Amino acid sequence: MAPLLGTIRSPADLKALPPADLAQVCAEIRHAICDQVSRSGGHLAPNLGVVELTVAMHYVFDFAHDRLLFDVGHQCYTHKLLTGRQHLLPRLRQRGGMSGFPEPRESSYDLFTVGHAGTAIPTAVGMARGDSLKGEGWSPAECPHGRRVVSLIGDASIVNGVAMEGLNNAGTLPRQFLVILNDNGMSIAKPQGAVAAYFDRLRLSHTYGEFKRRAKDFARHMPGGESLKDLYHRMGESSKAFIAENHWFEHFGLVTVGPIDGHDIPTLIDFLNEAKHFDRPMVLHVKTVKGRGYDFAERDACTFHSPAAFKIETLENEGCRVEVKKGGRSFTSAFGEILHDLMTRDPKVVACTAAMPDGTGINKVIDAFPGRVIDSGICESHAFDMMAGFAKTGWKPFFAVYSTFLQRAFDQAFQEAALQGLPVRLCLDRAGLVGGDGAVHHGFCDIALLSTLPRACIMAAIDEPSLRAAIEFMADYSEGISSVRYPRDSVSARFATLPCPRFELGKAQPLLTHSTPDAAIVAFGVSAVDAAEAIDLLSGDYSVDLYDGRFAKPVDGDLLERLCAKGIPILTVEDHSIRGGFGAAVLEECHHRGLDTRRLVRLALPDRWIYQGERKEQLAEAGIDAESIAKAVRAAIDQMPRSEDPAPAHAAVK
């Protein structure tokens, strides 16, 4: 048959196809996604699992008019291919290409830029209420041409607290509202908790035949005094047979239908057509297989959740073999081994992750120390409070979490940890610029958040030895919250020949010094590596000292006094927002000590969003790659004010 995917420029083209052609469209979409992810990396297994579901949604609804809200936005690739963005796929997660998450800058079909879990139901509730207030919400009698609202949630994000709050409010809506639960039995890793266990039991114990009970026999009543018996008479024949009695969602006031097969296109279309015309909040429970269509992705959905580029080979007598492209040793891998060593030596250490055992390196300890390592599921707030509880009972808790997800638990960091003086230890992976995942995942504000907390200790690692030294320091720090940040990158061997002394609270570490330097760079974290490369570029022209700042709170004020006394330019460099970051802490300390800051230049992430691309491209855009740092050093030296100039009333910063 002739290819079909290339003829689909919008959902209208999809709707023009006969239902019998949709299976071919799904096959072509799967091939296109797998082929591109094998070249560029990206979220593979989650997208393979929702191909039929997404095709069916666009076949039934009109999302140029209706509302579609994504949860865990990495499941959006099929949606994007059906909404006019096939030309962007060859540059997936790259500059000028397709973002790996819903992105309103790309298309009006994407309503929110979304990369965090739990948000789809609450934002959908807000849009449903907003449309209704404007008289634009769909109603079979009052507004038959109004907007319908659909929220797609999956990858176990239903257990997220924000999703629960949204469900609690969704059940009160007096209008159409559809939540599609993509239940694939997986999160990024195996889902955790009682709710996940409930869905496991539901999938195993409830066959479709068991759902073929008459809803008119149900005794439970829904909000507004309407019983399921009444609702039964208002639903289509397909949905009547699959109404779930005593389903968990029923207690939130949502009629629940399913589970149904999320890869059976005719069934999906039938049920979605009925849900489309149902005027009360409903959950459609859809069972899918993560990685569907490619055996290697189905067998190992964790590895192929978001792989790097990979190569597929078909070998005689061996079948299909997949080789994922290997990079250098990552900070994540180094952290996992360091934590394993620490937990082996210190029986008081416990650890936690929020559904990211592979992404944070916790997978290296989760089996070795049962009972001392917990995966909370996609529940960062709960995870932080749980670690505070561990600390209160005398343990040494380490919470491994992406920097971008830390802010989801900031209230707990404040109330249950810092305010109580409890030493919860934060290991912040993916700090700074993250490359292809783009703005939704940049770890750009952890220093700004944590620095507001009294007695918080904020550190950064430049390589594996400094990461080990920081974690050893944290194990013994008991005055309050402590944190160490490190990027989604390979560890550098740039400073491998230098000794890495123990961390001392508030003390920086010299990396390169001269008797009469022309300038000094105080770098925070891996920016020290880029600064060292910048100094290489300046070699022969200028002598530049380099320091590993180590601490953003407290900063090394004594070092700043010595550097300011030299009368040379001082540059701070960091992979964090210029607002509230390491450079801001340096400026505050200088002001506190009455130091002249005319020669202080801060290099950091600019006060604007940086979108997907290679990390090196993002560093250059932010002005913190080696070339940009070298340029800034030259400018600072060339523009250095004369010593006889009076100090300004306020510190001047770049």
Distances (CA, A) of 617 to 113, 370, 408, 611: 21, 41, 28, 10
371: nearest Cα among 394, 396, 350: 350
Structure tokens at 405: 């997800």
353: nearest Cα among 333, 334, 373, 372: 373
Catalytic residue among 103, 250, 380, 589: 380
| Residue 205 CB partners (closer than 8 Å, separation 6+) | none
Catalytic residue among 147, 290, 364, 488: 290
Instruction: List phi, psi (to 5°) of 531.
Output: -65, -40
Whether the CB-CB separation of 599 and 568 falls below 8 Å is answered with yes
Residue type, 161: G
Virtual CA dihedral for 610, 613, 614, 619, nearest 10 degrees?
Answer: -20
H/E stretch holding 483 reads strand 482-485
Establish whether 290 is a catalytic residue. yes
Give one word for 421, left, alpha or beta, with left for phi > 0 and alpha for psi -120 to 50: left
Catalytic residue among 408, 468, 488, 634: 408
Instruction: List phi, psi (to 5°) of 298.
Output: -65, -40
The pairing of strands 149-154 and 67-70 is parallel
Structure tokens at 150: 């659909």
HSE-CB for 312 with a 13 A CA cutoff: 15
Establish whether 408 is a catalytic residue. yes
Q: Residue 510, preceding bond cis, omega within 30 degrees?
A: no
Q: Cβ of 644: how many Cβ atoms within 10 Å?
A: 5
245: nearest Cα among 227, 263, 262: 227
Structure tokens at 73: 């936005």
Establish whether 28 is a catalytic residue. no
| Residue 523 CB partners (closer than 8 Å, separation 6+) | 462, 530, 531, 546, 547, 548, 549, 572, 573, 574
DSSP state for residue 415 in the 8-state scheme: I
DSSP state for residue 414 in the 8-state scheme: I
Distances (CA, A) of 477 to 335, 416, 472, 504: 18, 17, 9, 11
- Distance from C-alpha of 464 to C-alpha of 491, rounded to nearest angstrom: 6
Query: CA triplet 235, 236, 241: central angle to 5 degrees?
Result: 90
512 by DSSP, 3-state: which? strand
346: nearest Cα among 398, 399, 396, 400: 396
Residue with tokens 């505050």: 588
Whether the CB-CB separation of 98 and 106 falls below 8 Å is answered with yes
Whether the CB-CB separation of 209 and 182 falls below 8 Å is answered with no
Tell me which residues are annotated as active site: 290, 380, 408
